[in-house]
Chain A
Amino acid sequence: KQEVTQIPAALSVPEGENLVLNCSFTDSAIYNLQWFRQDPGKGLTSLLLIQSSQREQTSGRLNASLDKSSGRSTLYIAASQPGDSATYLCAVNGSYGKLTFGQGTILTVHP
């Protein structure tokens, strides 16, 4: 059974810092991995999707990497801003979109 772990559970940083969120998964037989953002009381917003054959994806200040063989992914956020404060969720896709989620990292960026 796939298990996804996210570290740290919570992170508080001052504005402007670069930061890394970690995600690990136990079964490397995945099709892709997706990073989501969830604001309080809201649904999930897709940030980046990395196919199993890819090593990384970038979107603006976000960069996600994937090392499938070791079961790890990282989400790098450059020059963090207060508007980045949210819960970040990592989800692995082992079959047609049946996602297994981590518990999330609660990020707070203070001015």
Chain B
Amino acid sequence: GAGVSQSPSNKVTEKGKDVELRCDPISGHTALYWYRQSLGQGLEFLIYFQGNSAPDKSGLPSDRFSAERTGGSVSTLTIQRTQQEDSAVYLCASSLGPGGHSGNTIYFGEGSWLTVV
């Protein structure tokens, strides 16, 4: 597609349930990122995938959070046993290659708004 696509755009779930958030990066982009934006916390890095390399999971806040990327394209972020503090916007982003010294612009999706009640 033309941009980074995320689904669902909005999700309300009960505390304790598991949720899955999906991200479709821009076609041809090898790098994929998940960020979280919560009130008062700003934007924080969660996880990074680059090609077939092992992902950088250093930003995942707890072992209830996991993510996978199948076939080097679509990614799913899973939150198990959701807690109220997980309520946030989960933003996915992608870039043509590593968005570091190669200077690749990072493009963000519209986000998945998660509310845990």
A residues with a Cβ closer than 8 A to B are 31-32, 34, 36, 42-46, 49, 51-52, 89, 91, 93, 95-104
A-B contacts, CB under 8 A, total? 71
B84: min CB distance to chain A, Å: 21
In the assembled complex, the Cα of A36 lies from the Cα of B31 at a distance in Å of 19
By a CB distance below 8 angstroms, the chain A residues around B104 are 97
Shortest Cβ distance from B111 into A: residue: A43
Indicate if the CB atoms of A43 and B31 lie closer than 8 Å: no
Hey, what's the 0/1 contact readout for B30-47 against A, CB within 8 Å counting as 1?
Answer: 010101000000111100
Which residues of B are at the interface with A, using a C-beta cutoff of 8 A?
A: 4, 31, 33, 35, 42-45, 48, 50, 56, 59, 91, 93, 95, 98-101, 103-111
**Chain A residues, CB < 8 A from B48:** 96-98
The answer for the CA separation of A98 and B43 in the assembled complex, in Å, is 11
CB distance from B106 to the nearest CB of A (A): 5
